[in-house]
Each structure stands twice: as structure tokens, then as C-alpha cells.
Structure 1
Amino acid sequence: MEQTFMVSIPIQEAADIIYNEVVDGSITGEIIDKYEIRDDGTLKCMVQVFEKHYYRAGNRLTLTVVFDNLGGNTRVHYSSGGGGEGLFRFDWGASEDFADIVPDALEKYRIH
């Protein structure tokens, strides 16, 4: 699964879309941290960390999304984790479903 891709919209717009999908689009989704790096007042990088409860995984999962425009266009990188119980961390696909929110929400802005 590709976890890094480029989009044609500014960082803040992409971040708002993901926030709306995770937080406003679910009952248990919440943002637990957000960090921004600016240069001369211009947003250069943003990190968002989300958490959401998945019943099939039996616990809360995290989703970390990094946005930057250091190469011109907005680059998006994402990763999810925390799923499953016990030694094997089997989560019935919940972590992948959580991660899929990012490319699905930004698909129409992707630069191929």
C-alpha cells in the first residue's frame, strides 16, 4: 500500500478534509495532537495524530498524517497503528480501514 502521495491543494485544505473525515465523520474519532512548522508565516509542514475506537479491533487505533510542501506541491504521508490484541496484534483489518481514510478522502486531488 502506497502511504505517500502528492495532492494539488494546500496543506491546510488537505488537513481540514482529513479532520472532517475522521472527527466529523465518526462517533469515536478525535484529534489528539497537531503540530505545524511555518517559515515566514507560510505553512510548510503539519502533523496530525488521530485516535478512533474500532469495535472489531477491541481498542483504539491511531492515525498519523504528515503534510508538507517542501517540494512545491503538498505531499501527504500517513500511517496507522495500535490495532489488535495480544502477541500477534490481529485487528480484523481495522488499522488498514483507518489508514484508507486518507487516500480515499483526497483521491480527487491526487497528482498521478
Structure 2
Amino acid sequence: MEKMDFYVYLSPKEAAEKVKKAVTAGLYSGEILDEYVRILPNGKEIIMVLFEKYYMRSGNRATLTFLADNLEEHTRVHLSAGGGGQGVIFRFDWGAGASFSTSARDALAEYICK
């Protein structure tokens, strides 16, 4: 399982749109399985998007969960990829999880708070 946390200078909605565009197009042709948006009374928002992609190198499907909220000063993004491993005992995914989460992070790279 691959996990990443970082902050961006975008709204959760803008961050989600950039990640959706990157993950579902071209080389990173994943598909959206689910999307959940929660707008709070104070105008803050929480967005979750669940992606899935088949990786030939692992012979399995991997999932990527994107979660963004603006409950703090900047939008916090959490990425979690998993499910790309083979077999019951060994969960080695040949880098599928890292590749999937990195594709989402790369879509937001220029907006990451330093």
C-alpha cells in the first residue's frame, strides 16, 4: 500500500478535477468507481474519489483513493493506493500502487505548498 499526504494551493474541487483528468486519460487510464462530495455549512468541502486501474505487470487491479478537504488554511490531499498485489500471502504489487499514487501527485505537483 502506498500513502501520501500533502497540501496544495487549490480548492478540493479544483484538486479533484486535476487528478481525475490525469488519472483517467492517456497512460494512466484508470476509471472512476465512486465520488463523494460533502459541503459543510461554513462553505468548507470534503471530496473523495475512488479510482481503479488494471496493471499488467502485477496482473491485478489497483485502487487509488483521493481525499481532499479545506478544513485548514490550505487544502489537504491524502492519496492511498492498494489492491495491486498478487496472491493470498504475498502482497507485492510490482510498483503498481506507487505508480498509481504518483500519477495523482504529479497532477498536483505545481500546486503543492512548499
Same fold (TM over 0.5): yes
Structure 2 partner of 1:111: 113
More strand per residue: 1 or 2? 1
Structure 2 partner of 1:20: 21
Structure 2 partner of 1:95: 97
Structure 2 partner of 1:6: 7
Instruction: Identify which of structures 1 and 2 has the higher relative contact order when contacts are C-alpha pairs closer than 8 Å and 6+ apart.
Output: 2
Q: TM-score, normalised by structure 1?
A: 0.91
| Aligned CA distance change for structure 1 residues 78 and 27 (closer, same or farther; 3 Å) | closer
Q: CA RMSD in A?
A: 1.8
Structure 1: runs of 5 or more not aligned: none
| Aligned CA distance change for structure 1 residues 26 and 42 (closer, same or farther; 3 Å) | farther
* Whole-angstrom CA distance in 1 between matches of 2:74 and 2:4: 16
Q: TM-score, normalised by structure 2?
A: 0.89
Structure 2 partner of 1:71: 72
Identity %: 43
4-13 or 20-29: bigger deviation? 20-29
* Whole-angstrom CA distance in 2 between matches of 1:67 and 1:27: 20
* Whole-angstrom CA distance in 1 between matches of 2:72 and 2:28: 36
* 8 A Cα contact 1:7 1:110, kept in partner: yes
- Kindly report structure 1 stretches of 4+ aligned residues shifted beyond 4 Å: none
* 8 A Cα contact 1:4 1:78, kept in partner: yes
